[in-house]
Amino acid sequence: MFGGTLGNPVIKNKLFTFSSLEYWEVGYPQSYARTVPTAAEATGDFSRSLNIDGTLRTIWDPFSTQFNPTTGAVTRTAFPGNVIPPNQFDPLSASLIKQFWAPNNPGDNITGVNNFRKGYNEKYNYYNFSERV
């Protein structure tokens, strides 16, 4: 924090100016939580990924979609063992997933949500300038 003032006459004993400047650099501690893929999920292994009720989070094979015209139902089959085969990974996605942050905590509950937390200091600059004549 710093500041200063300055005053001086414009017309002797009749008109004066007075100026002041104030500057503060204020910091507030902040944090955020994100959900990132675990090491196993990044390789396509969702065999230990759970829903909030403790059941396995099923990963469906999008290429197995079947439409039944009689009933109008659409069905899919799950990946065997809940593991996505590496040959079904898009090359761009496979390279991008390597750039993700690694989890730095186990998460909030059995689902593992919010498994990456980071704290930081958010800074604000405060300026105040005033002048009187």
Counted domains in the chain: 1
Residue 90 belongs to a domain: yes
Residue 41 belongs to a domain: yes
The pLDDT of residue 133 is: 84
Residue 1 belongs to a domain: no
Beta pairing partners, 22: 3, 128
The pLDDT of residue 1 is: 80
Whole-prediction pTM: 0.66
φ, ψ of residue 80 in degrees (nearest 5) = -60, 125
- In angstroms, the Cα distances linking 47 to 16, 44, 83, 123 are 78, 9, 6, 42
Is residue 127 within 8 Å of residue 22, measured between CB atoms?
A: yes
Amino acid in the structure at residue 85? P
Residue 11 belongs to a domain: no
Residue 130 belongs to a domain: no
Residue 104 belongs to a domain: yes
- What's the whole-number average pLDDT of the chain? 92
- In angstroms, the Cα distances linking 25 to 30, 91, 124, 125 are 16, 45, 6, 5
The pLDDT of residue 36 is: 94
Total number of residues shown for the chain: 133
The pLDDT of residue 34 is: 93
Residues lower than pLDDT 50 in the chain: none
Residue 5 belongs to a domain: no
Residue 111 belongs to a domain: yes
**Structural domain containing residue 52:** 29-122
Is residue 44 within 8 Å of residue 83, measured between CB atoms?
A: yes
The pLDDT of residue 129 is: 92
